[in-house]
Structure 1
Amino acid sequence: MRRNRKVKILATLGPASSEEAMIEKLFLAGADLFRINMSHASHDVMRTLIARIRNVEKRMGRPIGILADIQGPKLRVGKFANTKVTLTPGQTFTLDNNEAPGDETRVFLPHPEILESVKAGDRLLIDDGKLHLKAIKCDGKSIVTEVISGTSISDRKGVSLPDTLLAVGVLTPKDRADIEAVLATNDVDWVALSFIQRPEDLAEVRKMARGRVGLMSKIEKPQALERIDEIIELSDALMVARGDLGVEMPLEAVPGIQKQLTRACRRAGKPVVVATQMLESMITAPVPTRAEVSDVATAVFEGADAIMLSAESASGAYPVEAVATMASIAQKVEEDQHFTGIIHAQRSEPNPTGADAISLAARQIAETLKLNAIVCYTASGTTGLRASRERPAMPILTLSPIVKTARRLSLAWGLHCVVTEDATDLDDMVNRACRIVVSEGFGGPGDRIIITAGVPLGTPGSTNMLRIAYIGSDGVTGI
């Protein structure tokens, strides 16, 4: 099975899509990998979903990636004596360490790290920004604020801190337990980390993972943007999580930030996912709004590696239709006459390494000679990511003897991943590539392909060879 598009689709599983038959329908509709949201999934549910995805993978004969999305710290106020209170702009309202039920003047904040970190002048946004407070006095035990806008607050509403850098890491005890459970399965390909603020937030998870999963940083905090180059360098991929980002940043700033992050990841050769509310209306309607179609198209035109569905596929009434609609939009955008020019205009210079030079040359030769495909032999996945970074016009087939590598690469733009044994010699390398190109539907006898590999064969990180091959009349022999 091959996709007629380069951008990948990441679909979230949930109550509407947890059965194996539905997962198969989502894959057939266009989902390339699946997200398990650990905010809602227990460890048993996670293991069940993984098993079902792997059963679908076996039947489809295609590597399918799995991403576990870690919840991160959920900052919430305490409870009120009467569940909800009414506030007036201009009044003072205090958040403190007193566990007594709240009233019109104060409420318990069960997060000492916030009480110790907030400074006068910092903003506190409650309930996704519906209530806007400004700190006017802080002593480490309480925060006296002025109500700027909003008229009410109720039990356990979330707190966002757009101006405050918390002095603690992003992992909660639940997060650590979830990550350990994910790693124990040895069957998850990506872990997404929520509310990353600084590069140091990745260190603990990197130590726990020891290379067993790729680390995806979710960009949701303004503080992350201040050190974004360092965060990208230490991450394996990025997610533009526009939901929480749109709470803590002005809404009108989010589209520009999305472009900034997409282009920064493309320069770095790191996969980038655009997420949140892409087809929101399809939670309850069988067709999207015109604005949502344009939103998806914008992400595809920018060259994002993947676009994500959240509630649309997890709990909506039309999960299959949402995936199929997203796939249809992406395919149409990539067929647009302006798409190639826009993608090429954003292409960056390769790094001064032999492997990057080989990937650049492969793309240039393939486009100049109008070859059918670029074929990359890769063990670690690095060669595949380099080829994807070039954003070539033709398909990229990545051949790997390691199934975990193929699954992880299912996130990357334009890569069609195939699990196969390593080539035994140069003739086998060419013949195997030709045979797979034909069997996967990317070419036939008489077509030409270009192959990148490392010599000695099977040596990770040694990409140093290009080979142009004709597919022989038998469809399995390269000339």
Structure 2
Amino acid sequence: MIMRRKRRAKIVATVGPASADPAMLEALFRAGVDTFRLNFSHGSHDDHARVHAAIRALEDKHHRPIGILQDLQGPKIRVGTIRDGRIEVTPGQALRFVLNGSEGGPEAIPLPHPEIFAAVLPGHHLLIDDGRVRLRVTGLGDDHIDAEVEIGGVISNRKGVNLPGTVLDMSPLTPKDRADLAFGLELGVDWVALSFVQRPGDLLEARGLIGDRAGLVAKVEKPSALDHVDEIVALADAVMVARGDLGVEIPPEDVPGRQKELVRACRFAAKPVIVATQMLDSMVAAPTPTRAEASDVATAIYDGADAVMLSAESAAGQYPVEAVEMMDRIIRRTEQHKFYRSIVDASGPREETSAPHAVAAAAADLAVALGAPALVAFTSSGTTAARIARRRPAAQILATTPNLPVSRRLCLLWGAHSVLSEEIHSYEEMVEKATRTVMEQELAGPADPVVVVAGIPFGQAGSTNNIRVVRADGN
């Protein structure tokens, strides 16, 4: 039996205590997970190694590639120890944060991060505990920051601090991240998600360590990253719209528009984009989502996102399988809606900026004109499939590649049904393999037209330059 999703957008699910068991991982895969996320903010290396092995065993059992995304923790900025464990602050109250100190109260709250003291300026804001407490910087010293409370609340030990208006001279890779990254690459993860991206140069540091051993996902969760979207998209292999931290650091009313901007920028650049955080959050504790959550998932699909992600819903929730099944149903129903095609087409690229993009676009348009049920993309790096996917064609994209890591990474790409194949060496072999594979995967009937796209010479990454129309039976 051929396992093929009846939708184009992909599902990413986070693995955690609720889903790390091999039997649960299989249930989640059967329910619709295309890529599993390993959150290295939690769990030991041994825990992640066991999950990785179980996912690879699933691949062998079901003869389908499965993506694995390693999400690095990144720097965590926190206040230090508070005297008596907590203080309650009120609007208008003056506070002082100090660089050095073991514990303190309103007159000397430890903030052991010299990068903040070097970068913050009067008028900048400090957000504590996911923005529940908001302060404005009023004065500075070499080892202290004075601030006034704008929104009061409780500040307790080790609560997180966000600085939306401040760019810190801080690497996104902590010593822990470097150790986790080395471990993940040794395991053979397919994607690495980089947290705390502030500027394009942050990606260069990570790329130097990763090389081509995994795809690099830039998590956009800082306002400074939004100021450099085009450069970040160009340097990354994929982007995650990390709405959790982003929604703390920018006004909530700005998040939907920024999401649309990021999805469109990635689509135009032919880079996969994941929309993440709180998509079906109520399903952590309930078997059904709210209507607003269902609409949120559907909006990401109408925007043209390549993938949507479950976090706590699948990692720690009471209904992980139900959450995946619900997300699968929402995606399928949205993609079948009468307005879906017109909305997705309207938000796509109008003019192609390169010959390979133009060839891929022409292939997608040709498939529509002929009523072809499938487009076959021969791809060594995934680029040809990505160029076709940016058009969001109605036809199924059959992405064939001889490269197993590429086949797994394609599990993030919109519309791609990834199949591992042998190398091809001639035009005749390309046609024969295309028709044979499309029939084996039950994507077309014998008399159906199939559009075949490739780059010649074969095996040369990024050389999308050839279109061929054949009958599915090869006649």
Classify the TM-score, shorter chain: over 0.9
Paired letter, 2:263: T
Q: CA deviation at 1:351?
A: 4.1
Equivalent residue for 1:23, pick from 22, 25, 37: 25
* Matched position secondary structure for 2:105: coil
Cα distance in 2 between the residues matched to 1:243 and 1:76: 17
- Find the counterpart in structure 2 of residue 191 from structure 1: 192
Q: CA deviation at 1:125?
A: 0.3
Change (3 A) 1:235 1:311: same
Residue 242 of structure 1 pairs with residue 243 of structure 2: yes
- Find the counterpart in structure 2 of residue 331 from structure 1: 332
- Find the counterpart in structure 1 of residue 342 from structure 2: 341
Paired letter, 1:293: A
Cα distance in 1 between the residues matched to 2:151 and 2:462: 56
* Matched position secondary structure for 1:119: coil
Q: How does 1:277-356 map to 2 (within 5 A)?
A: 277-349=278-350, 351-356=352-357
Paired letter, 1:420: S
Deviations 1:128-148 (A, max 9, x none): 111111111112311011111
* Matched position secondary structure for 1:55: helix
Cα distance in 1 between the residues matched to 2:444 and 2:256: 39
- Find the counterpart in structure 2 of residue 124 from structure 1: 126
Q: CA deviation at 1:20?
A: 1.0
Paired letter, 1:160: N
Unaligned runs of 5+ in 1: 473-477
Cα distance in 2 between the residues matched to 1:228 and 1:427: 42
Q: CA deviation at 1:283?
A: 0.4
- Find the counterpart in structure 1 of residue 431 from structure 2: 430
Cα distance in 2 between the residues matched to 1:228 and 1:254: 14
CA contact (8 A) 1:116 1:139 kept: no
Cα distance in 2 between the residues matched to 1:223 and 1:437: 45
Q: CA deviation at 1:265?
A: 1.0
Equivalent residue for 1:166, pick from 158, 163, 168: 168
- Find the counterpart in structure 1 of residue 159 from structure 2: 157
CA contact (8 A) 2:88 2:152 kept: no
Cα distance in 1 between the residues matched to 2:407 and 2:398: 10
Deviates more, 1:463-472 or 1:246-255: 463-472
**What's the TM-score, normalizing by structure 1?**
0.97
Q: CA deviation at 1:326?
A: 0.1
Cα distance in 2 between the residues matched to 1:459 and 1:219: 31
Cα distance in 2 between the residues matched to 1:67 and 1:82: 40
Paired letter, 1:78: G
Cα distance in 1 between the residues matched to 2:177 and 2:239: 19
Q: How does 1:258-277 map to 2 (within 5 A)?
A: 258-277=259-278
Q: CA deviation at 1:427?
A: 2.5
Cα distance in 1 between the residues matched to 2:328 and 2:100: 51
Q: CA deviation at 1:440?
A: 1.3
Q: CA deviation at 1:63?
A: 0.6
Equivalent residue for 2:65, pick from 37, 56, 63: 63
Q: CA deviation at 1:469?
A: 0.7
Give the root-mean-square deviation of aligned CA atoms: 1.1
- Find the counterpart in structure 1 of residue 14 from structure 2: 12
Cα distance in 2 between the residues matched to 1:334 and 1:362: 21
Deviates more, 1:433-442 or 1:333-342: 433-442
Q: CA deviation at 1:434?
A: 1.4
* Matched position secondary structure for 2:309: strand
CA contact (8 A) 1:356 1:386 kept: yes
CA contact (8 A) 1:401 1:422 kept: yes
Cα distance in 1 between the residues matched to 2:459 and 2:241: 35
Cα distance in 2 between the residues matched to 1:21 and 1:428: 40
Q: How does 1:440-451 map to 2 (within 5 A)?
A: 440-451=441-452
- Find the counterpart in structure 1 of residue 229 from structure 2: 228
Q: CA deviation at 1:81?
A: 2.1
- Find the counterpart in structure 1 of residue 406 from structure 2: 405
Q: CA deviation at 1:100?
A: 2.7
CA contact (8 A) 1:117 1:140 kept: no
- Find the counterpart in structure 2 of residue 88 from structure 1: 90
- Find the counterpart in structure 2 of residue 475 from structure 1: none
Paired letter, 2:345: H
Deviates more, 1:100-109 or 1:453-462: 453-462
- Find the counterpart in structure 1 of residue 387 from structure 2: 386
Cα distance in 1 between the residues matched to 2:190 and 2:16: 19
Paired letter, 1:61: H
Provide the aligned length of Structure 1 versus Structure 2.
Answer: 473
Paired letter, 1:332: R
* Matched position secondary structure for 1:11: strand
Paired letter, 2:138: I
Deviations 1:74-118 (A, max 9, x none): 100001120011222211111112223112322111111112211
Deviations 1:25-84 (A, max 9, x none): 111100001000000022222211111110011111111111000101110000112001
Cα distance in 1 between the residues matched to 2:264 and 2:279: 19
Q: CA deviation at 1:378?
A: 0.5
Q: CA deviation at 1:463?
A: 2.5
Q: CA deviation at 1:392?
A: 0.5
Cα distance in 2 between the residues matched to 1:459 and 1:223: 36
Q: CA deviation at 1:354?
A: 2.7
Cα distance in 2 between the residues matched to 1:100 and 1:442: 65
Cα distance in 2 between the residues matched to 1:149 and 1:464: 58
- Find the counterpart in structure 2 of residue 145 from structure 1: 147
Q: CA deviation at 1:350?
A: 5.1
CA contact (8 A) 1:190 1:213 kept: yes
CA contact (8 A) 1:96 1:115 kept: no
* Matched position secondary structure for 1:82: helix
Deviations 1:436-473 (A, max 9, x none): 1122121121111010112233333332211111122x
- Find the counterpart in structure 1 of residue 456 from structure 2: 455
Cα distance in 2 between the residues matched to 1:457 and 1:226: 39
Deviations 1:152-196 (A, max 9, x none): 2110000000011102221111111111111122x2111101121
Equivalent residue for 2:4, pick from 2, 5, 8: 2
Paired letter, 2:30: L
CA contact (8 A) 1:2 1:441 kept: no
